[in-house]
Chains A and B, each alone.
Chain A
Amino acid sequence: MSRAGLVAARLLQIVPTFLAIGAVVFVLARLLPGDPVSAMLGDRATEEAVTRLRAQLGLDQPLWTQFLLFAGRMLHGDFGTSIALRVPVTAVIAERLPATLVLTALATVLAVGLAVPLAFVAATQAGRWPDTLIRAAFQVGLSSPIFYVGLLLLTVFAAGLRWFPVGGYGDGVAGHLYHLLLPALTLALSFSAVIMRNLRAAILEVLQAEFVDFARSKGLSRRVVLFRHVLRNALLSTVTLVGLQVGTLLGGAVITESVFAVPGVGRLMVDSIFARDYPVIQALTLVLAVIVSLAFLVTDLVQMWLDPRVAR
């Protein structure tokens, strides 16, 4: 298949994925305890009113018709009204989503910036003390829950040293970045451990490859071989890993935002559970899954672009 054909085929795959995500969220909503109509109208509603509202919401239709109605509303961005905030769910999410996206993007940049040099040192010094030290550090990183790391950073750098604000989101671009730096670092520390482990293994693997021997035998300097040939090839796996871990990052953002009181969708999700704000939970589950599936799509496309072997 031609490259354009492959790209088109991959783009088309997103349609059934979105439908399936919708189906899962629909089923989750159906599992909710209690009837939405009696929840909305209360116990003393007349039978007539109940029937009318059921018809209005399409609840008297067969299940698959209900699903189509649901899917149609989703496509129009109509997620209903937030029970707790009494505004359209779409508006709430649109207001809260940027903070989460900035947080995860910043965390990714920090994590990659931290992990790449350390993984490089660990792999090129494999078996010696810098490697042991770095691996021990990422073992601790992988075993530390995000909320705990966040709380420690918050105490030392915000409450103690007062270098950073204790929470919130600030004003303007600079204010947002300043407020999100500590939360992003929290998220980045655990993420960088994952990247580091993966990249270290990838570098060690590439070092075994024949083209590296060939590059060396051509008389290229160690520096050129390591940076141009080894690191560049090993970083391919990091690109894939970052794409595949977007879901984990968003999950981490839920916790980080709760610790640092960042007004993003993660904190909204937790707040909504305690407020029993089911329309918001439902919409967020859907939106976050859609973001992850788009991240998978971009990862695949980037991989096709970076590594011509994938598309062949």
Chain B
Amino acid sequence: MMYRVIGRLPAPLLAGAAILLALLLCAAAPGTVAPYDPLAFDYAALLQPPGRAHLFGTDQFGRDILSRTVAAAAIDLQIAVLATVGPLLIGTVVGLLVGYYGGIADAVFGRLVDLVVTFPFLVLVIAIVAVLGPGLGNMYVAITAVGWVFYARLMRSEVLVLRGQDYVSACKVLGYGQARILLRHVLPNAARPVIVYWMTDMALAILLGSSLGYLGLGAQPPAAEWGVLIADGKNLFTQAWWIAVFPGFAIVLAGIGFSLVGDGVADLLDVKR
């Protein structure tokens, strides 16, 4: 039964899911994948190029790059979830309410959207991080403070269409409570594009999170995060390219994984984008 369901899923979705599962394994049990301790110094093997002993080479302290890249998966997958789940929840609730009830709140929301899109997303996030101070926690706050608007805008436009549907009117005639109509009838029907957007947004969150990590505004060393690892290797790029190149592969791979899953889910749920 299970096998039949999986067999019917589109190949890109399966490929994306396989990538994400592999990364999840790295995040949950790095010891099973990584050949070495990611923090262990090995002065007998400094700046080793990729080879049999060290598949991805070693850095200036003899740390194994493969093990460090694997260990970093935990933080980057955490970024994918924690940087998007707040915007998803807040945006869904706000979009549902302003879309369904309209009125002044909706008008105010409309102006807010116009305003937020005039700020370059990254610049606004960086400005908020500047106020709060660099670090992973503050980065989540900054991304959430801006990001929810995009979820709410999407949710609102869906709810706006559903609000006028006959079945919603029928619910009202039947005397259903507002909470019941919103949560059981409007939300499930409006959720599909938001879920698809969430998938894509997780890929973007990893790109944004690693970029901020690279700039020194996100995850702070010695935390192993792909962007931080690349920043570690950037000064040695000409002598030891492998220090920065391999963690970058991981980011690209994660991005492709989330995109493939997002596209696959969009096809399954029949969401036009």
Contact = CB atoms under 8 A, between A and B. Distances in A.
B122 A17 contact: no
A148 B249 CA distance: 9
Nearest to A136: B256
B73 to A, nearest CB: 15
Interface in A139-155: 139-140, 142-148, 151-152, 154-155
A146 B122 CA distance: 12
B217 to A, nearest CB: 7
B31 interface: no
Contact of B118 (A143, A152, A247): A247
A20 B111 contact: yes
Interface in B95-135: 111, 114-115, 117-124, 126-131, 133-134
Nearest to A13: B114
Contact of A143 (B111, B114, B203, B245): B203
Q: Tell me which of B111, B126, B217, B245 has the highest count of chain A C-beta atoms within 10 A of its own C-beta.
A: B126
B251 A288 contact: no
A127 to B, nearest CB: 15
Interface in A215-236: none
Interface string A273-292: 11000100110110011001
Contacts of B131: 28, 31-33
A77 interface: no
B237 A155 contact: yes
Contacts, number: 131
Contacts of B210: 145, 147-148
Interface residues of A, number: 47
B244 interface: yes
A57 interface: no
A254 B255 contact: no
Contact of B215 (A151, A258, A292): A258
Interface string A100-114: 000000000000000
Given A144-B252, A247-B120, 13 more contacts: A17-B118, A32-B131, A140-B252, A142-B203, A142-B255, A143-B253, A147-B230, A246-B120, A248-B120, A251-B121, A270-B217, A273-B126, A289-B123
Interface of B: 111, 114-115, 117-124, 126-131, 133-134, 203, 207, 210-211, 214-217, 227, 230, 234, 237-238, 241, 244-245, 248, 251-256, 259
Q: Which 4 A-B pairs have the closest CB atoms?
A: A143-B255, A251-B122, A247-B120, A148-B248
